[in-house]
């Protein structure tokens, strides 16, 4: 009797308050917190921070593309050998010393992990990726509780310290250890920086910004940095420097105002919003009145939410049947995407041409795809997130299929493998973007960050095991691509650097099998390697089957990123976005060039460390997220920040402070009727059936996208041509795609997040299929891989944006942390995908097709369009939940 009466009173209270809110909104100039954010000076600082952190995260996560590149054995002492098999036979006969050829002095090169031993380095990628997974899970929760800015700052500092320490690693064990720890903080950067950025940029500009300043353009820059570094130790230092720059850029920013409001810190949010308004030179006396009105509205919303759940966890992502289906769709999709992406990237040394140019091309391709999708999303109303996912999956599927089929019929990848890898990675990039965007837009604020965190975690699972995929190439070269095709196909359905040994001592050999036979027969001990980058395999002599050991380290390294994403997602919500730490695509082009300059993995590590230091410097120029400050109840700090931003943007006026004070006052009054310091967990991402489905969809989707992209990236040495040019081309393609998507999103109203994800997935599927069909043609494999990676890059951007727009402020970073964690899970195991090529070359691409097909299917079924939606602050009513009804 009393329970029924209490429930009735709660419902009456909510109905009355909602009517009051409608009346208040009609009389206010600013309807929501989103209306207070404008593309002005403060936003430019946020964009600078986003670029610095994007490059830092990219370099940290994908360092093993160069540091784990397998060298080519070209001889053994004075004998020319052709492959690991001849080397093994000659080495066993004469005990000769292998002669290696490489573009980058990777871990394999320095520590002499060649042929079969090179696999030890690849296997460490899984461990490193596990660190990323843990970081994504932890920092998603931390950022929701303590603030986005704090979590980002801690992530940047930790990433800088441990990347620098890793540059002094005496052997593979310590290298994997310190890279895994650094991965924890890198995971924090990846999961929190997007939430922090989305909460500080205008709603109508999210898509094009996220696609323009993302991993894709940085994938163009990163190969150049790796080229300049020449070795993994230098590259580690460069990454540390980039982290430092990110830290300094964060110091110039404030906490997220939305987070402050969500946490009931109204006065702090008010102060911050006024500061931002003054920074933007938009401040006026009327602004404070309007601001107080907005904050009053938010306070009333908080009063309503006080009758709802206060703590949210991953379970809340499954609180309705609809959320269950959506969450599972995202989970499967991100695992497939991540596995495809990182399986290709961690084996990029297999591509023909320069390792650096391949990386830059992939980055450019990703960026082009991202931009095209952004433009379509902005200009075309019908071009939504779901369509982007489907198209990206199809292109990835096609490119991988073409590579797999081509290798199956010709026995060689050549340019086909290089192009296919570029397309696949580019498409997976768009898949990541589209899926993350849908997660952000689909889930309410209360569990948005939990959903993003869940999807991110699944993404890391995909990347964790992706380095081992190309071990299957020992059976047949086409098998890894066939596996990727299968994974991409799976993603689609549910959503709608091994070295070549060419000699041993003075004997010429053709492949690893011949090398092993020759080594056993002649006792030769000096395999002659041919390589473009002195990778870990080259330096440590991990060649042939041993090269898989290096690929396996990618899983370990990615685990570090997962750990970091989990930790710093939580930290950013508790301490701020800025203190924790766009897109990778353009930076991937630069990274390929830096890898070419570095020439070896040690130098490349120093370069990455330097980039991290630069990122820290950039962060010092920024302030904390005003939205986070408001959500945390730090109203005065938020007010100060808003005024500062308003002045920076040359929008400040005396009326602005009055408007800002009114908005913040609304938030303060709302907090009086709500509990302070409410704690939300990953369970709240699944508190309704709808959220459960959405969270599961994001988690699966990010794993699929991550697996697809990183499986190709970490096996890019299979592509014909220069590993540097392949990397640069992939980066350029990614960037072009990012820019194209950005323009489409900005100009075309019908081009939404969902269409972006759909298109990226469809293109990925098409590319994967094309790779399988034309696997024997080198150009098809290269083009297909390029497009797949580019599409996956766009997938990441779109999906991350969806996650940020779908989940409410209270759990937005938790959702980002979850999504980022799943992304790293996919990347963690992606290096191993191409191990299946030992059975048949097409199998890895077939697996990726399955991943992308599953991602496309579940994404199409469970994820709604989120373009133009207002960011929610609160979870659904407790009556519609399956979890957390008593919160």
Would you say residue 160 has pLDDT above 80?
A: yes
Residue 14 pLDDT level (bands cut at 50, 70, 90) = very low
Residue 381: Cβ-neighbour burial (10 angstroms; 0-12, 13-18, 19+): middle
E strands present in 177-330: 214-216, 253-254
Share of the chain above pLDDT 70, in %: 80
pLDDT computed for residue 673 by the predictor: 56
Number of separate domains in the chain: 1
CA distance 40 to 46: 10
CA distance 705 to 430: 9
CB 302 within 8 A of CB 676: no
pLDDT computed for residue 402 by the predictor: 82
Residue 129 lies in a domain: yes
Q: What's the mean pLDDT when you consider all of the chain?
A: 76
CA distance 864 to 258: 23
CA distance 740 to 738: 5
CA distance 654 to 329: 49
pLDDT computed for residue 548 by the predictor: 72
CB 873 within 8 A of CB 301: yes
The mean pLDDT value for 67-90 works out to 79
The mean pLDDT value for 607-622 works out to 73
pLDDT computed for residue 22 by the predictor: 52
Of the given ranges (12-21, 197-206, 763-772), which has the lowest mean pLDDT? 12-21
Residue 9 lies in a domain: no
Q: What is the pLDDT of residues 478-519, one digit of tens each?
A: 888 888 888 887 777 777 533 333 445 555 555 565 666 655
The mean pLDDT value for 71-79 works out to 81
Q: What is the dihedral of CA 688, 388, 819, 367, to 10 degrees?
A: -160
**Total Cβ atoms within 10 A of residue 212:** 29
CA distance 437 to 222: 24
Of the given ranges (12-16, 34-38, 44-48, 559-563), which has the lowest mean pLDDT? 12-16
CB 590 within 8 A of CB 161: no
pLDDT computed for residue 161 by the predictor: 93
Residue 582 pLDDT level (bands cut at 50, 70, 90) = very low
Main-chain dihedrals φ then ψ at residue 729, nearest 5 degrees: -65, -40
CB 244 within 8 A of CB 171: no
Residue 794 lies in a domain: yes
Residue 399 pLDDT level (bands cut at 50, 70, 90) = confident
Residue 1 pLDDT level (bands cut at 50, 70, 90) = very low
Would you say residue 106 has pLDDT above 70?
A: yes
The mean pLDDT value for 28-43 works out to 71
What is the domain range of residue 642?
A: 26-69+104-497+533-880
Residue 514 lies in a domain: no
pLDDT computed for residue 884 by the predictor: 55
Residue 580 pLDDT level (bands cut at 50, 70, 90) = very low
Residue 157 lies in a domain: yes
Would you say residue 864 has pLDDT above 80?
A: yes
Q: What is the pLDDT of residues 698-738, one digit of tens each?
A: 888 888 888 888 888 777 777 776 777 777 777 777 777 77
Token digits of residue 376: 């379509």
Range among 1-15, 30-44, 699-713 rated most confident? 699-713
CB 585 within 8 A of CB 738: yes
Q: What is the pLDDT of residues 831-862, one digit of tens each?
A: 778 888 777 777 888 888 888 888 888 888 88
Residue 254's Cβ-side half-sphere holds a number of Cα atoms within 13 Å equal to 40
Residue 538's Cβ-side half-sphere holds a number of Cα atoms within 13 Å equal to 39
Residue 318 lies in a domain: yes
Residue 173 lies in a domain: yes
Residue 142 lies in a domain: yes
pLDDT computed for residue 236 by the predictor: 92
CA distance 27 to 5: 34
CA distance 286 to 654: 7
Of the given ranges (62-76, 485-499, 868-882), which has the lowest mean pLDDT? 485-499
Would you say residue 289 has pLDDT above 70?
A: yes
Q: Quick one: which H or E segment has residue 222?
A: helix 222-229
Bigger pLDDT: 101 vs 206: 101
| Residue 580: closest CA among 191, 268, 183 | 191
Q: How far is CA 549 from the centre of its chain?
A: 24
The mean pLDDT value for 433-448 works out to 76
E strands present in 562-650: 583-584, 623-624
E strands present in 465-526: 465, 468-471, 500-504, 507-508
Would you say residue 883 has pLDDT above 80?
A: no
Share of the chain above pLDDT 90, in %: 4
pLDDT computed for residue 822 by the predictor: 76
pLDDT computed for residue 6 by the predictor: 44
Token digits of residue 68: 């784990």
Would you say residue 241 has pLDDT above 90?
A: yes
């Amino acid at each position: 009797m009393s329970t029924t009466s209490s429930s009735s009173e709660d419902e009456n209270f909510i109905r009355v308050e909602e009517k009051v809110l409608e009346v208040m909104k009609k009389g206010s100039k600013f309807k929501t917190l989103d209306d207070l954010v404008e593309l002005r000076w403060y936003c430019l600082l946020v964009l600078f921070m986003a670029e610095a952190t994007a490059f830092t995260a990219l370099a940290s996560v994908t360092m093993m593309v160069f540091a784990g590149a397998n060298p080519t054995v070209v001889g053994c002492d004075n004998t020319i050998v052709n492959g690991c098999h001849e080397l093994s036979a000659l080495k066993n006969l004469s005990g000769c010393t292998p002669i290696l050829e490489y573009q980058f002095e990777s871990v394999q090169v320095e520590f002499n992990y060649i042929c079969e031993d090179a696999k030890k380095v690849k296997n460490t990628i899984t461990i490193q990726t596990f660190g990323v997974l843990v970081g994504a899970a932890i920092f998603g929760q931390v950022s929701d509780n303590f603030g986005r800015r704090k979590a980002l700052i801690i992530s940047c500092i930790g990433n800088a310290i441990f990347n620098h320490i890793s540059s002094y690693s005496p052997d593979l064990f310590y290298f994997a250890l310190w890279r895994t720890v650094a991965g924890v903080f890198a995971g924090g950067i990846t999961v929190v920086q997007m939430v922090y950025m989305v909460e500080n940029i205008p709603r109508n500009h999210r898509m094009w910004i996220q696609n323009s300043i993302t991993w894709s353009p940085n994938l163009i820059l990163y190969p150049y940095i790796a080229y300049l570094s020449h070795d993994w130790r230098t590259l580690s230092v460069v990454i540390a420097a980039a982290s430092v720059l990110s830290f300094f850029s964060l110091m110039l920013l404030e906490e997220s105002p939305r987070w402050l409001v969500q946490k009931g810190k109204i006065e702090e949010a008010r102060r911050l919003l006024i500061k931002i308004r003054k920074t933007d030179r938009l401040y006026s006396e009327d602004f404070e009145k309007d601001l107080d009105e907005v904050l009053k509205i938010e306070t009333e919303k908080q009063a309503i939410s006080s009758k709802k759940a206060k703590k949210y966890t991953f379970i809340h992502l499954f609180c309705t049947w609809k959320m269950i289906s959506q969450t599972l769709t995202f989970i499967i999709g991100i695992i497939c995407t991540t596995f495809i992406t990182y399986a290709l990237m961690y084996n990029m040394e297999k591509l023909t041409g320069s390792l650096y140019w391949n990386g830059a091309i992939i980055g450019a391709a990703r960026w082009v795809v991202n931009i095209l999708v952004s433009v379509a999303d902005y200009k075309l109303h019908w071009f939504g997130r779901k369509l982007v996912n489907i198209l990206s999956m199809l292109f990835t599927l096609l490119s991988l299929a073409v590579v797999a089929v081509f290798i199956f019929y010709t026995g060689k990848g050549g340019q086909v493998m290089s192009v296919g890898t570029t397309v696949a990675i580019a498409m997976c990039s768009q898949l990541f973007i589209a899926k993350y965007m849908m997660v952000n837009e689909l889930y309410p604020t209360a569990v948005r960050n939990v959903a993003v965190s869940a999807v991110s975690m699944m993404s890391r699972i995909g990347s964790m095991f992706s380095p081992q995929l190309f071990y299957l190439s020992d059976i047949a070269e086409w098998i890894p691509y066939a596996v990727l095709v299968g994974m991409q196909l799976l993603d689609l359905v549910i959503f709608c650097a091994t070295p070549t040994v060419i000699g041993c001592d003075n004997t010429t050999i053709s492949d690893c099998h011949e090398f092993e036979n020759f080594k056993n027969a002649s006792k030769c001990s000096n395999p002659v390697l041919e390589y473009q980058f002195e990778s870990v395999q080259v330096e440590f002599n991990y060649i042939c089957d041993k090269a898989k050991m290096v690929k396996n380290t990618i899983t370990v390294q990615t685990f570090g990123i997962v750990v970091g994403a989990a930790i710093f997602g939580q930290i950013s919500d508790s301490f701020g976005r800025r203190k924790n730490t766009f897109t990778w695509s353009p930076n991937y082009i630069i990274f390929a060039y830096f890898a070419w300059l570095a020439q070896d993995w040690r130098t490349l590590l120093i370069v990455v460390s330097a980039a991290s230091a630069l990122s820290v410097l950039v962060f010092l120029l920024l302030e904390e997220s005003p939205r986070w400050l408001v959500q945390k109840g730090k109203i005065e700090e938020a007010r100060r920040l808003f005024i500062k931003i308003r002045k920076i943007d040359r929008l400040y006026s005396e009326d602005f402070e009055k408007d800002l004070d009114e908005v913040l006052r609304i938030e303060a009054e709302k907090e009086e009727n709500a509990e302070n310091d409410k704690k939300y967990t990953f369970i709240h991402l699944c508190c309704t059936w709808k959220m459960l489905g959405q969270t599961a969809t994001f988690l699966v989707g990010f794993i699929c996208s991550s697996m697809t992209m990183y499986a190709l990236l970490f096996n890019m040495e299979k592509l014909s041509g220069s590993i540097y040019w392949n990397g640069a081309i992939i980066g350029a393609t990614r960037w072009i795609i990012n820019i194209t998507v950005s323009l489409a999103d900005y100009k075309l109203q019908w081009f939404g997040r969902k269409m972006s994800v759909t298109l990226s997935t469809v293109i990925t599927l098409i590319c994967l299929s094309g790779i399988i069909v034309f696997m024997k043609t080198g150009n098809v494999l290269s083009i297909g891989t390029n497009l797949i990676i580019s599409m996956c890059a766009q997938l990441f951007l779109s999906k991350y944006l969806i996650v940020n727009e779908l989940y409410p402020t209270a759990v937005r970073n938790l959702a980002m942390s979850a999504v980022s964690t799943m992304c790293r899970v996919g990347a963690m195991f992606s290096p191993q995908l191409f191990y299946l090529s030992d059975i048949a070359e097409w199998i890895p691409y077939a697996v990726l097709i399955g991943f992308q097909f599953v991602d496309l299917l579940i994404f199409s079924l469970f994820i709604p369009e989120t373009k133009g939606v207002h960011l929610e602050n609160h979870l659904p009513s407790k009556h519609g939940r399956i979890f957390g009804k008593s919160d």
